[in-house]
């Protein structure tokens, strides 16, 4: 059981909290019915995401065995057989789609798109530089779209754009870590790193960091936002966004430990406090 849980990377479920963003910014967190619908959508999406991880590991099992870190994964180490992993992936997909059908037919199509996109990514698109990080970023956008479809809450263009930009920034940081690993050990985590180097990734991350901050400030000061959110002080949350982006740049470029955004968040107390500060300020301004 421990090997199976490591195979699906349970901690990565934290990424799927993006499903709740439409509920959060739609000021509907106190609506129990919508909260339940969002929770079911979150669970269904998590099951599909787990299946995607398993499928990806099946495709990469030989390469993972040559990797200094990934060789300890359950499939690469032989703890779980490929046949068992394939059965598990199929079961997770069936269960996730059956669960999502109880919430929204529209959300099912988004879930199917996510599965197809990530299946294509595992089968070859992950080897195409730039396109690979864009697909990762689109996965976060689909999480938000699915949350909107499951709850029936209309999404603003701002939330979609900012989700894509932030996710792209994080994906570039992940690729930077792959390049650093290759330069230090000679281990090529994926073929796409042939299309990257530190100069390009540092420049791209710097650009994306600036774009994310500018986009967020523009959103915080957008006309009509104060009426919709019920506060004229939402701009105060910008402080935490800038702080978080700068800290992540520091983790990536100084500490060179940005390979897994979820793991970074779980171990970095600075980022945890920054996220809690942003979340607490948003709740106070919008809900108090």
Domain assignment present for 218: yes
The whole domain housing 166 covers: 156-288
pLDDT number for residue 185 = 77
Name the nearest CA neighbour of 151 among 98, 106, 184, 198: 106
Model confidence pLDDT, tens digit, residues 71-127: 777 777 777 788 888 888 899 999 999 999 998 888 999 999 999 999 998 888 888
Provide the whole-model pTM: 0.91
pLDDT number for residue 242 = 96
Domain assignment present for 223: yes
Q: Is 224 within 8 Å of 251 (Cβ atoms)?
A: no
pLDDT number for residue 228 = 83
pLDDT number for residue 227 = 84
Domain assignment present for 194: yes
Cα dihedral 231→237→238→241 (10° resolution):
-150
Domain assignment present for 117: no
pLDDT number for residue 104 = 86
Domain assignment present for 95: no
pLDDT number for residue 44 = 95
State the sign of the Cα–Cα–Cα–Cα dihedral 130, 268, 207, 154.
positive
Structure tokens at 12: 């990565």
Q: Is 12 within 8 Å of 49 (Cβ atoms)?
A: yes
Structure tokens at 20: 């709740």
State how many domains the chain has: 1
List Cβ<8 Å contacts ≥24 apart for 208-211: 208/165, 208/168, 208/169, 208/172, 209/169, 209/245, 209/246, 209/249, 211/165
CA distance 18 to 27: 15
Domain assignment present for 128: no
Model confidence pLDDT, tens digit, residues 22-60: 999 988 988 999 999 999 999 999 999 999 988 888 887
Domain assignment present for 178: yes
Name the nearest CA neighbour of 172 among 211, 214, 132: 132
Model confidence pLDDT, tens digit, residues 240-252: 999 999 999 999 9
Window from 146-160, 185-199, 250-264 with minimum mean pLDDT: 185-199
CA distance 23 to 153: 7
Model confidence pLDDT, tens digit, residues 177-225: 888 888 887 777 677 788 899 999 999 999 999 999 999 999 999 888 8
Average pLDDT score over residue span 139-145: 95
Domain assignment present for 195: yes
Q: What is the DSSP letter of 152?
A: T
């Amino acid at each position: 059981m421990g090997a199976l849980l490591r195979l699906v990377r349970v901690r990565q479920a934290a990424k799927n909290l993006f499903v709740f963003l439409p509920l959060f910014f739609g000021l509907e967190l106190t609506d129990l019915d919508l909260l339940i619908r969002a929770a079911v959508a979150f669970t269904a999406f998590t099951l599909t995401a787990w299946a995607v991880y398993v499928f990806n590991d099946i495709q990469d099992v030989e390469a993972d065995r040559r990797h200094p870190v990934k060789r300890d994964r359950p499939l690469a180490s032989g703890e779980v057989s490929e046949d068992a992993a394939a059965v598990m992936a199929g079961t997770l997909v069936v269960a996730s789609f059956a669960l999502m059908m109880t919430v929204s037919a529209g959300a099912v199509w988004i879930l199917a798109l996510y599965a197809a996109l990530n299946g294509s990514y595992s089968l070859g698109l992950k080897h195409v530089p730039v396109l690979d990080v864009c697909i990762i970023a689109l996965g976060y956008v689909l999480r938000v779209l699915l949350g909107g479809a499951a709850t029936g809450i209309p999404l603003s263009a701002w939330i979609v754009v900012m989700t894509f930009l932030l996710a792209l920034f994080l994906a570039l940081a992940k690729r930077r870590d792959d390049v650093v690993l290759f330069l230090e050990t000679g281990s090529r985590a994926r073929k796409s790193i042939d299309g990257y180097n530190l100069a390009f990734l540092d420049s791209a991350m710097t650009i994306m960091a600036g774009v994310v901050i500018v986009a967020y400030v523009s959103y915080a000061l957008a006309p009509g936002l104060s009426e919709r959110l019920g506060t004229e002080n939402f701009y105060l949350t910008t402080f935490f966004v800038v702080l978080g982006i700068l800290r992540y740049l520091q983790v990536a470029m100084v500490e060179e430990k940005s390979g897994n955004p979820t793991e970074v968040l779980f171990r970095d107390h600075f980022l945890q406090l920054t996220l809690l500060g942003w979340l607490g300020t948003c709740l106070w301004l919008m809900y108090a």
